[in-house]
Chain A
């Protein structure tokens, strides 16, 4: 009997060139997972600290204002808006629209531009001494 040769694999992730549509899809998943695991932990921690008292809240605020804390909060802000914009894009696609190559690509690029612009605007406002 002939020696068993490696069978060809069906086209998989590795052979596709990266494009905006793929990026929007995987970042929707990554940002959603991050918001759930990190975001909901921070939300619960924040509420528990508020419930416990002024000292516990001061501890939370102190950690939130370290550079690691600020980076996490900026990351959560970006993840929220990336997930929001690509979520809206997916809701539109659920109705059967926006599958033409041009508009599909443009809307994928838009999700990244919009999430970065909104996140930058919010944090320039927060860190610009207004708050």
Chain B
């Protein structure tokens, strides 16, 4: 059987598990890791480059598009990637189905809830009045 252009080794198996799906989680973890490589280094470099880490300086930085937008992306991507990673850990060590489902659901709620609070706080800083 020819798979045409995509018949590389990775192309052959991508999405072709017994369930014909499931590779998305693995791919998603790696794509988000590349995004976090850029965003994480941006965050740490920004904190080091800022003239001060006091309230007014950080607020002003997070009110500018080049502060607020990458920070929003960092919040979304880091919660997504962190949840993805913790799910792998849970699936490796918690085998009993009920406990596994309960723990993964709890982590999902915590991650979505945490990201929502962080984004709300960021929106309040970015769109609120000057400090």
Contacts and interface: CB of A to CB of B under 8 A. Distances in A.
Main secondary structure of the interface of A (DSSP, over half): helix
Contact of A131 (B33, B34, B53, B122): B53
Interface stretch (B14-22, B79-87, B96-104): B79-87
Contacts, number: 75
Interface in A80-124: 80, 84, 87-88, 91, 94, 122
Nearest to B113: A44
Contacts of B62: 50
A35 B44 CA distance: 14
A50 B125 contact: yes
B55 A54 contact: yes
A63 interface: no
A25 interface: no
A32 B37 contact: no
B109 interface: no
A50 B44 contact: no
Contacts of B89: 29, 33
B75 A57 contact: no
A47 interface: yes
Interface size range on A against B: 20 to 34
A125 B50 CA distance: 13
Interface string A36-79: 11011101100110110010011001000000000000000100
Nearest to B9: A96
Interface of A: 29, 32-33, 35-37, 39-41, 43-44, 47-48, 50-51, 54, 57-58, 61, 77, 80, 84, 87-88, 91, 94, 122, 125-126, 131
Interface of B: 30, 33-34, 37, 40-41, 44, 48, 52-55, 58-59, 62, 75, 78-79, 82-83, 85-86, 89, 114, 117-118, 120-122, 124-125, 128, 131
A-B pairs, 8 with minimum CB distance: A36-B82, A51-B121, A47-B121, A51-B124, A44-B118, A57-B55, A48-B121, A32-B85
Given A36-B86, A40-B114, A94-B30, 6 more contacts: A35-B82, A39-B78, A44-B121, A50-B59, A51-B125, A54-B55
17 contacts: A29-B89, A32-B82, A32-B85, A33-B89, A44-B117, A47-B121, A50-B62, A50-B121, A51-B125, A51-B128, A54-B131, A57-B58, A77-B44, A87-B33, A87-B37, A91-B33, A131-B52
